[in-house]
Amino acid sequence: MNEKQRLEGQQVQSINPSDKKSEKDYSKYFETVYTAPSLKDAKKRGKEEVKYHKDFDLPEEFIGLGKGRKFYIRTYGCQMNEHDTEVMAGIFMGLGYQPTDTVEDANVILLNTCAIRENAENKVFGELGHLKHLRKENPDLLIGVCGCMSQEESVVNKILKTYTQVDMIFGTHNIHRLPNILHEAYMSKEMVLEVWSKEGDVIENLPKVRRGNIKAWVNIMYGCDKFCTYCIVPYTRGKERSRRPEDIIQEVRQLAAQGYQEITLLGQNVNAYGKDFKDMTYGLGDLMEAIHKIDIPRIRFTTSHPRDFDDRLIEVLANGGNLVEHIHLPVQSGSNDVLKIMARKYTREQFLELVRKIKDKVPGATFTTDIIVGYPNETEEQFEETLSLYREVGFEAAYTFIYSPREGTPAAKMKDNVPMEVKKERLQRLNALVNELSAEAMKRYQHEVVEVLVEGESKNNPDTLAGYTRKNKLVNFKGPRTAIGKIVKVKVTDAKTWSLTGEIIEEKENLEVS
């Protein structure tokens, strides 16, 4: 049996939730393929090689399944999820479904979920509650839950017991199986559950319907092996596996030919790109060097881990051009003690040294970051070290979070003596600093001319256009709609904390690039 047959031959299992009383009870339904999630299995990292499936095709027997039907996907969480939604939209369209913007109009509703923090999960459970009445009104409606939450045993158990309006649950490794899962859900009155916990495959050629025609995401790797002690991602997204460079380069070339202006290379830990290749030494620096040569105006990558950010990559980024000088570099904490408990595997000093090296080599490099406050037992002094590190680096923006325990992770078992009130107060103090430094960074652009990739009308004012600079600063300005999709020069007239206001000077292609 070849790999394609193996994949297609997997049985979709369906179960009747009302039959089950406890978690253990339902494993007996999965004798052929165990398709319920297991965090324990998800944690294992075997030695098996990554399998590449280059020839994915939609199963012919399911094409036409969506005739006369509409789909709606609501996406929660990170860019990886956004991009998975583009793939699922591509599969739906390939099966003959049409997209819709309203849940009331949809024949299939998917919630592509995020498990990173408890409040992300609560939003999904709230939404499932809202959808219950639609399911009652329309018995033909299918409701599905996919994404990271479906990889968690506790979530699946909760859905099985409480949210019986759900028709399908499938995991992050099962996206390419959507046609089979939909088919099974139509055929069966029971809930369909297919979640693989241990997966090492890379599947190429999946159809995609991208959300826009200006900026595109390109996956370069999947999964994460870092196991930071607070993080659920290595469990929900599996082991690190890199796409082959030739596949990535081909995809970027196609996007360039289609007129895309900006590419973001995606992975949970992009700096580990290529570490899993057995046949060659090839890393993110090599990939960026190859992509640098492609005629596309802007290339970004996210998310970086400081530990794997190597000199080769810095050397390549120093070439500038389409490699933008904005780096998102999550630091999480400024305290060596906390970094150690987080298992980040770098110190404050090493982080600062990395930033210094990048600033030295990459002209005009700017940094943004992710920070967690209120880690178990974080002291006031440790928190203040985070504040001082933030200032020392001069970060220009940050995503800031209160630590949220995630079941199955080592940190969730730690005793915690920090009251929630203290955590909230620390978050406020950190956010005040984040705002202060962002406002300062924005002021430096006052009266300057910036290059803006124009994405469309401003969200709050349709008379105004909006776009982003190379360093990812939002700029609102008055200009002709013909500028949408182009890079234009804008003179900044006003700098706010989180955005710039300006006047268009001229389209970049008519001017010399500064």
**The binder of ligand 5AD chosen from 26, 217, 235, 403 (CB under 6 A):** 403
The C-alpha angle 290, 296, 298, rounded to 5 degrees, equals: 95
**The binder of ligand 5AD chosen from 8, 23, 204, 370 (CB under 6 A):** 370
Q: How far is the CB of 115 from ligand 5AD (least distance, A)?
A: 9
Rg (CA), the chain: 24
Tokens of 338: 């906390």
Q: How far is the CB of 297 from ligand 5AD (least distance, A)?
A: 27
Q: For the chain, first and last CA: distance in Å?
A: 57
Q: Is 267 a binder of ligand 5AD (CB under 6 A)?
A: no
Residue 117 contact partner, candidates ligand SF4, ligand 5AD, none, CB within 5 to 8 A by sort of partner: ligand 5AD
Tokens of 125: 């459970």
Residue 227 contact partner, candidates ligand SF4, ligand 5AD, none, CB within 5 to 8 A by sort of partner: ligand SF4
As a whole number of angstroms, the distance between CA 117 and CA 370 comes to 14
Closer of 13 and 302 to ligand SF4 (Cβ): 302
Q: How far is the CB of 404 from ligand 5AD (least distance, A)?
A: 4
Q: Is 230 a binder of ligand 5AD (CB under 6 A)?
A: yes
Give the three-class secondary structure for 447: coil
Q: Is 116 a binder of ligand 5AD (CB under 6 A)?
A: yes
Q: Is 342 a binder of ligand 5AD (CB under 6 A)?
A: no
Q: How far is the CB of 269 from ligand 5AD (least distance, A)?
A: 10
Residue 234 contact partner, candidates ligand 5AD, ligand SF4, none, CB within 5 to 8 A by sort of partner: ligand SF4
Residue 372 contact partner, candidates ligand 5AD, ligand SF4, none, CB within 5 to 8 A by sort of partner: ligand 5AD
Closer of 71 and 346 to ligand SF4 (Cβ): 346
484 CB burial (10 A radius; 0-12, 13-18, 19+)? middle
Q: Is 332 a binder of ligand 5AD (CB under 6 A)?
A: yes
Query: For 238, phi and psi rounded to 5 degrees?
Result: 75, -170
Residue 116 contact partner, candidates ligand SF4, ligand 5AD, none, CB within 5 to 8 A by sort of partner: ligand 5AD
Contacts of 490 (CB under 8 A, 6+ apart): 449, 450, 451, 452, 475, 477, 479, 500, 502, 503, 504, 505
Q: Is 114 a binder of ligand 5AD (CB under 6 A)?
A: no
Binding region for ligand SF4 (CB under 6 A): 224, 226-228, 231, 233-234, 268-269, 305
b/e per residue 416-426 (b: at least 16 CB within 10 A): bebeeeebeeb
- Label residue 274 left, alpha or beta by phi (over 0 means left) and psi (-120 to 50 means alpha): left
How far is CA 283 from each of CA 238, 246, 270, 272, 274, rounded to the nearest angstrom? 20, 13, 9, 7, 5
Closer of 332 and 476 to ligand 5AD (Cβ): 332
As a whole number of angstroms, the distance between CA 212 and CA 301 comes to 18
Q: Is 330 a binder of ligand 5AD (CB under 6 A)?
A: yes
Closer of 389 and 483 to ligand 5AD (Cβ): 389
Q: Is 384 a binder of ligand 5AD (CB under 6 A)?
A: no
Residue 73 contact partner, candidates ligand SF4, ligand 5AD, none, CB within 5 to 8 A by sort of partner: none
Closer of 406 and 508 to ligand SF4 (Cβ): 406
Q: Which residue has the tokens 């200006």?
A: 214
- Contacting range for ligand 5AD; rule: CB under 6 A; set: 175-183, 400-408, 441-449, 476-484: 400-408
As a whole number of angstroms, the distance between CA 171 and CA 60 comes to 23
As a whole number of angstroms, the distance between CA 174 and CA 15 comes to 17
What does the CA dihedral 441, 445, 451, 457 come to, rounded to 10 degrees? 80
Per CB under 6 A, residues contacting ligand 5AD are: 116-117, 230-231, 330, 332, 370, 372, 401, 403-404, 406
